[in-house]
């Protein structure tokens, strides 16, 4: 049962996230931030992780706390659903093209959070969404999911395409990493015997 539900409540946000690592990529994400919801839908769909997000935040200030805290909660839910990580492939990577954009993502579900973010975005906004929040989301996801995550923009001139390619590339890498390795389904994927 590789499922988890996390609830995170602060003075700034109230967030509940549910994930099923063995899902079909179904999603129902409602954060009050339209572009962000669209990106979370991409994350779930392309990772084949069923995901439901309900977030209420201080959007009258800005989207920052909602986006960052959602990243924290999704990271915690992934870590809980993975348990001791027995049988997973652990590593995943993807080169993803989207029109003018190409983004490469590589990750390790190592338990050692680290983010390398080489994604310059040509605009500060996508609609009303602050593009600097994309890095904040992935930093929170990496930190609280215990994920070593590298994301690199190889090409791209359109911010929407670059960001969407980043979410999809991370999703595809995550899909690969959380899958059960049928050749070692009973083993922790580390010579240490623990992750």
On whether residue 193 sits in a domain, the answer given is no
Domain harbouring 40, CATH code: 3.30.230.40
Give the residue numbers spanning the domain of 120: 3-178
The predicted-structure confidence for 146-162, as pLDDT tens digits, reads as follows: 999 999 999 999 999 99
Evaluated on CA atoms 143, 144, 150, 155, the torsion sign reads negative
Token code pair at residue 24: 């079909």
Label residue 1 by pLDDT band (50, 70, 90): confident
Q: At what angle do helices 64-82 and 34-47 cross, to 10 degrees?
A: 20
CB 79 within 8 Å of CB 122: no
Q: What pTM did the predictor assign?
A: 0.98
On whether residue 149 sits in a domain, the answer given is yes
On whether residue 186 sits in a domain, the answer given is no
The predicted-structure confidence for 74-113, as pLDDT tens digits, reads as follows: 999 999 999 999 999 999 999 999 999 999 999 999 999 9
* Structural domain count, the chain: 1
Angle at 109 between CA 106 and CA 113, to 5 degrees: 85
On whether residue 183 sits in a domain, the answer given is no
On whether residue 16 sits in a domain, the answer given is yes
Cβ neighbors of 82 (< 8 A, separation 6 or more) are 2, 21, 88, 109, 178
């Amino acid at each position: 049962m590789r499922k988890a539900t996390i609830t995170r409540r602060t003075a700034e946000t109230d967030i509940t996230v549910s994930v099923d690592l063995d899902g079909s990529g179904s999603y129902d994400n409602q954060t009050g931030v339209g572009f962000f919801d669209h990106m979370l839908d991409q994350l779930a769909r392309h990772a084949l992780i069923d995901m439901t997000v309900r977030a209420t935040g201080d959007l009258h200030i800005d989207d920052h706390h909602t986006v960052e805290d959602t990243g924290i909660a999704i990271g915690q839910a992934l870590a809980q659903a993975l348990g001791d990580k027995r049988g997973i492939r652990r590593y995943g990577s993807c080169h993803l093209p989207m029109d003018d954009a190409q983004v490469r993502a590589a990750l390790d579900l190592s338990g050692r959070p680290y983010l390398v973010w080489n994604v310059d975005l040509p605009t500060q906004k996508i609609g009303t969404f602050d593009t600097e929040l994309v890095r904040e989301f992935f930093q929170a996801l990496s930190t609280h999911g215990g994920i070593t995550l590298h994301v690199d923009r190889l090409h791209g001139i359109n911010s929407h395409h670059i960001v969407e390619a980043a979410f999809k590339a991370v999703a595809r890498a995550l899909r690969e990493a959380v899958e059960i390795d049928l050749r070692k389904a009973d083993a922790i994927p580390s010579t240490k015997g623990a992750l």
